[in-house]
A = this chain, B = another copy of it.
Amino acid sequence: MITEKNRIIRSVLDIAAAVGGRIKGDKSLVIKVLSPIESKTANSLTFLSNKKYLRHLYGVNNRAILCHDDVIDIPEIDDTLIIVDDVYAAWSIIQKLFQGNDELTFEISDRSVVASNVLFSPRVSIGHFVVIESGVTIGDETVIKSNAYIGKNVSIGSNVTIGEGVKIFADCKVGDNVTIQANSVIGSDGFGYHFIDGRYHKIPQTGNVIIEDFVEIGANVCIDRASIGSTIIRKGAILDNLIQIAHSVEVGEHVAIAAQAGISGSSKIGNYVQLGGQAGIAGHVKIAKGNKIQAQSGVAKDIKSENGKWYGYPILSYMNYLRSYALFKKLPEFIKRLQYLEKRINQMSEKDSQ
């Protein structure tokens, strides 16, 4: 690997070696950048995961393509090919190569305020303008970025990244290998009030949030602490940006939640469930394992069967929603046909009675 003005440059040969791939074409071709298949940049590497994008391969020079061997015999393609069995897995490795590796430096900024009884290994990085309250524990190789806030008695595992401006409030627990992106808020007070004598009285929110291992959380996400007990995000769950997780919710293992979805208080989302963007889950709802909720859908009741696909507001089964909606579009026609029938029957009935 050489670098040119801070840029990482590698040959096709190096790259193929890194992913265990075979080369067809110019082994010495230099790759300066990874690019989308449409972009046709010289000295770039892209990947072909699906033959429907084949048309993008024509007429480009000095480019390399990461692909399966089913492309190898197409004669019109001039690109240099790196042929592998698993394109996605190889692409992930290559992306890491090109990301460079900002070597982690384990420093505690002296512009930050860290309470005296915080426990952390020497291999921890704490950025500028961070506040870490008393009783916090932080695992090995964990990075806390600038302007973050870590409340009292929070525990954070190893190999965790806490993004810039993230706030994690008292008593919350974050496992190992977790990423929380910028400006997300973990452990805010839940939206719990009694309505007495014409006004709302806050119910103290004394629980916490538990984020298990390998969870990934996007930017500007809110996860409220439980009123009592814990709001839990189980291991391997992935959350996109701008998501709302209310108090006492449980998000199961390997759940995927797209941006702007929201889950109301005390609902339980089973393992491997997928929520589309802007989907909404009412309070106290249980969704069984493996169900997929389409974007913008609303779930107001338990889903007891597993692995279904759901759509609508409130949800129907995916196919039923599409069927009904296809007919909804044609309602003007159907109503006309209904009116015409009424007219004909009236005529027939008049005729009959004559």
Contacts and interface: CB of A to CB of B under 8 A. Distances in A.
Contacts of A262: 242, 259-260, 277-278
A135 to B, nearest CB: 7
A200 B345 contact: no
Contacts of A201: 92
B191 A259 contact: yes
A185 B203 CA distance: 24
Interface stretch (A17-25, A31-39, A57-65, A73-81): A31-39
Count of chain copies: 3
A55 interface: no
A218 B277 CA distance: 20
Contacts of A345: 341, 344-345, 348
Interface residues of A, number: 109
Given A199-B214, A238-B200, A335 B332 contact: no
A270 interface: no
A304 interface: no
Given A92-B201, A165-B165, A167-B219, 5 more contacts: A6-B135, A185-B241, A282-B295, A323-B331, A327-B332
Interface of A: 6, 34-36, 39, 46, 88-89, 91-92, 95-96, 98-99, 109, 111, 113, 127-129, 131, 135, 145-147, 149, 153, 163-165, 167, 169, 181-183, 185, 188-189, 191, 193-194, 196, 198-204, 206, 214, 216, 218-220, 222, 224, 226-229, 236, 238, 240-242, 244, 246, 248, 254, 256, 258-260, 262, 264, 277-278, 280, 282, 295-296, 298, 300, 313-314, 316, 320, 323-325, 327-332, 334-335, 337-338, 341-342, 344-345, 348-349, 351-352
